[in-house]
């Protein structure tokens, strides 16, 4: 495909190029353009049919869109802007630098500019920011035939026609009717007879992720959005819900790995920008880890008496960290999917507590057996008693650390959400750092107690 486009472009066979490109899906053409030098994209873009060109434009990455806009004549810009759906225009505007935004708004008619400004003013991550105002509105006195007439007249410009909305004269949402219902009904049926009363809806201020999860739960292809007075102001379509879910999952995953979320694809994020997204948490966690060196320095004397004890510190910390991550990540994901809410605190505590005890015991026992069988604390060198005592200390410390790690890993995300932060910050790296400190204290405390019991003073 690329080589074919290359050839047609070089031979200036633009008509054939148009036929070739316009047969593809817009998303594929956008991906293809990304593989060509930026100065050739405007040429290819201009050969496309107008409507198709707008569809391709929407699918492009931000950097290519910006390059194109900057190269457009005023006329071209106006044409493209008039063709775009409202929610797509807002998405594009949100990513562009101020100078480009000004130029776009200058080439948009007044009514549309008003709508764009309204959408831009909804709170970040709210349903208002992803909704479109282009839906089919039906009046209460309509029959099925009237509804079809409206759809045929307005349909071309609407993002979806398959779900239509019945509102009263104050635009308050009264019901929903699908094209499927309309097709299966008689022409003269009043739409109020077949519409779904009291439909599910969301508010403009609702979180866009909750809206998307609700659409998934109800299997909707469009969700009505109302303002504080229940007036229908827009709809969210399922393709946008899909995008939101993928973006939010990526954001969760990045936060879980201590990365500041960015909404650009991996290869589109520059080296310096990637560094900026990663370094803050690395610094915070590195500084926090200073506690571990303080503790170890403090116990330096004790550890010098029996240096073999330090050999098991990384093992202990690693196991504790892994156990804690499992719990925190499970709870963060469950919170994110809405499977649990803050009210399930006690259920989570009970479950993580029981799992923690099971995991702690199994790991402690296996570790003791392993240390004995592989003679990890050399019996010939240290004597049988010390060897057994140290193995016991390490194994008990593992069991207790795992229990602490799992319970705090399970609880902290809920507490963090309680105080209004994103629970995903409480994932692996932060939990691991907290568990590192706790496990050291547990380990050294147990060592002193048990070894004293064996008559070994450290």
Of residues 203-262, those binding a copy of itself (CB under 8 A)? 215-219, 221, 238-239, 241-243, 245-246, 249-250, 252-254, 256-259
Q: Which residues contact 65 (CB under 8 A, 6 or more apart)?
A: 57, 92, 95, 96
Are residues 62 and 263 in contact, defined by beta-carbon separation less than 8 angstroms?
no
Q: Which of 1, 120, 279, 342 binds a copy of itself (CB under 8 A)?
A: 279
- Touching a copy of itself, residues 425-444 (CB under 8 A): 427-429, 432-433, 436, 440
**CB of residue 65 vs a copy of itself: minimum separation in angstroms?**
17
Structure tokens at 181: 């219902």
- Burial profile 436-452: b = 16 or more Cβ within 10 angstroms, e = fewer: bbbbbebbbebbbebbe
Contacts of 274 (CB under 8 A, 6+ apart): none
Q: Closer CB to a copy of itself, residue 54 or residue 108? A: 54
78 binds a copy of itself (CB under 8 A): no
Q: Does the protein bind a copy of itself through residue 365 (CB under 8 A)?
A: no
Residues contacting a copy of itself: total by CB under 8 A: 112
Closest distance of CB 98 from a copy of itself, Å: 28
Which residues are CB-neighbours of 261 under 8 A, at least 6 positions away? Answer: 250, 251, 254, 255, 277
Q: 453, exposed or middle or buried, with CB in 10 Å at 0-12, 13-18, 19+?
A: exposed
Residue placing its CB nearer to a copy of itself in the complex, 44 or 327: 327
**Smallest gap from residue 73 Cβ to a copy of itself (A):** 29
423 scored as a contact of a copy of itself (CB under 8 A): no
Is 168 within 8 Å of 162 (Cβ atoms)?
Answer: no
- One residue of 162, 345, 372, 454 binding a copy of itself per CB under 8 A: 162
Rounded least distance, CB 146 to a copy of itself, Å: 14
Q: Which of residues 6-25 bind a copy of itself (CB under 8 A)?
A: 23, 25
Tell me whether residue 77 or residue 236 sits nearer to a copy of itself (CB atom).
236
Site for a copy of itself in 25-54 (CB under 8 A): 25, 27
Taken in order 402, 404, 407, 411, is the CA torsion positive or negative? Answer: negative
CB 143 within 8 A of CB 190: yes
Q: Whose Cβ is closer to a copy of itself: residue 116's or residue 399's?
A: 399
Answer for which of 11, 50, 231, 362 binds a copy of itself (CB under 8 A) is 362
For residue 266, the minimal CB distance to a copy of itself (Å) is 4
What sign for the dihedral angle of Cα 65, 68, 70, 75? negative
Q: Which residues on neighbouring strands pair with residue 203, listed in sequence order? A: 226
Rounded to the nearest whole angstrom, what is the least distance from the CB of residue 278 to a copy of itself in the complex? 5
Judged by DSSP in three states, 345 sits in helix
**Binding flag, residue 120, a copy of itself (CB under 8 A):** no
Q: Minimal distance in Å, beta carbon 57 to a copy of itself?
A: 14
- Residue 226's DSSP bridge partners are 203, 232
Stretch that binds a copy of itself, among 100-108, 126-134, 165-173, 303-311 (CB under 8 A): 303-311
Report the alpha-carbon distance of residue 372 to residue 145 in Å, rounded.
Answer: 84
Rounded least distance, CB 119 to a copy of itself, Å: 19
In this complex, which beta carbon is closest to a copy of itself, that of residue 156 or of residue 419? 156
Matching residue, tokens 């229990």: 403
- Shortest Cβ 12–a copy of itself spacing (Å): 26
Residues 6+ apart with CB under 8 A from 8: 14, 16, 17, 20
Binding of residue 57 to a copy of itself (CB under 8 A): no
Dihedrals phi, psi of 178, to nearest 5 degrees: -95, 155
Is 4 near a copy of itself (CB under 8 A)?
no
CB nearer a copy of itself, residue 337 or residue 421: 337
1 lies in the binding site for a copy of itself (CB under 8 A): no
Residue 126's φ and ψ, nearest 5 degrees, are -95, 165
Q: Are 58 and 24 in contact (CB under 8 A)?
A: no
Closest approach of Cβ 198 to a copy of itself, in Å? 6
The residue from 93, 100, 289, 441 that contacts a copy of itself (CB under 8 A) is 289
Q: Are 352 and 409 in contact (CB under 8 A)?
A: yes
Q: Which residues, numbered 375-394, are part of the site for a copy of itself (CB under 8 A)?
A: 376
Least distance CB 75 / a copy of itself (angstroms): 27
């Amino acid at each position: 495909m690329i080589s074919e486009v290359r050839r047609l472009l070089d031979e200036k066979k633009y008509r054939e190029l148009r036929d070739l490109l316009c047969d593809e899906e817009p998303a594929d053409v956008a991906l293809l353009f990304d593989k060509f030098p930026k100065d050739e994209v405007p040429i290819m873009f201009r050969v496309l049919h107008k409507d198709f060109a707008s569809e391709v434009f929407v699918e492009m990455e931000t950097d290519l869109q910006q390059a194109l806009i900057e190269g457009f004549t005023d006329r071209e810009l106006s044409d493209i802007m008039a063709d775009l759906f409202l929610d797509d225009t807002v998405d594009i505007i949100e990513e562009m630098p101020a100078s480009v935004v000004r130029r776009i708004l200058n080439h948009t008619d007044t009514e549309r500019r008003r709508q764009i400004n309204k959408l831009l003013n909804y709170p970040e991550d709210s349903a208002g920011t992803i909704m479109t105002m282009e839906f089919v509105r039906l009046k209460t006195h309509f029959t099925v035939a009237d509804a079809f007439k409206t759809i045929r007249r307005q349909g071309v410009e609407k993002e979806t026609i398959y779900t239509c909305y019945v509102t009263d004269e104050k635009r308050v949402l009264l019901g929903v009717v699908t094209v499927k219902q309309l097709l299966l009904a008689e022409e003269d049926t009043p739409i109020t007879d077949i519409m779904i009363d009291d439909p599910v809806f969301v508010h403009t201020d609702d979180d866009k992720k909750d809206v998307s999860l609700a659409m998934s739960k109800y299997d909707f292809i469009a969700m009505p959005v109302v303002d504080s007075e229940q007036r229908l102001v827009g709809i969210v379509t399922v393709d946008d819900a899909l995008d939101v879910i993928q973006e939010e999952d990526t954001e969760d995953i990045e936060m879980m790995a201590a990365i500041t979320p960015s909404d650009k694809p991996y290869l589109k994020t520059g080296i310096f920008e990637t560094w900026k997204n990663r370094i803050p948490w690395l610094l915070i966690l590195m500084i926090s880890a200073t506690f571990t060196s303080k503790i170890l320095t403090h116990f330096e004397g004790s550890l010098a008496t029996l240096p073999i004890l330090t050999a098991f510190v990384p093992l202990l910390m690693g196991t504790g960290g892994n156990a804690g991550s499992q719990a925190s990540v499970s709870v963060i994901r469950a919170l994110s999917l809405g499977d649990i809410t803050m009210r399930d605190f006690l259920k989570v505590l009970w479950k993580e507590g029981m799992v923690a005890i099971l995991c702690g015991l199994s790991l402690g026992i296996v570790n003791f057996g392993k240390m004995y069988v592989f003679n990890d604390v050399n019996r010939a060198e240290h004597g049988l008693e010390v060897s057994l005592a140290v193995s016991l200390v390490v194994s008990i410390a593992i069991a207790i650390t795992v229990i602490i790690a799992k319970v705090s890993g399970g609880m902290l995300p809920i507490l963090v959400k309680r105080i209004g932060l994103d629970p995903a910050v409480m994932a692996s790296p932060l939990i691991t750092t907290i568990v590192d400190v706790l496990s050291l204290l547990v380990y050294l405390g147990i060592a002193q107690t048990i070894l004293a019991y064996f008559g070994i003073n450290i």
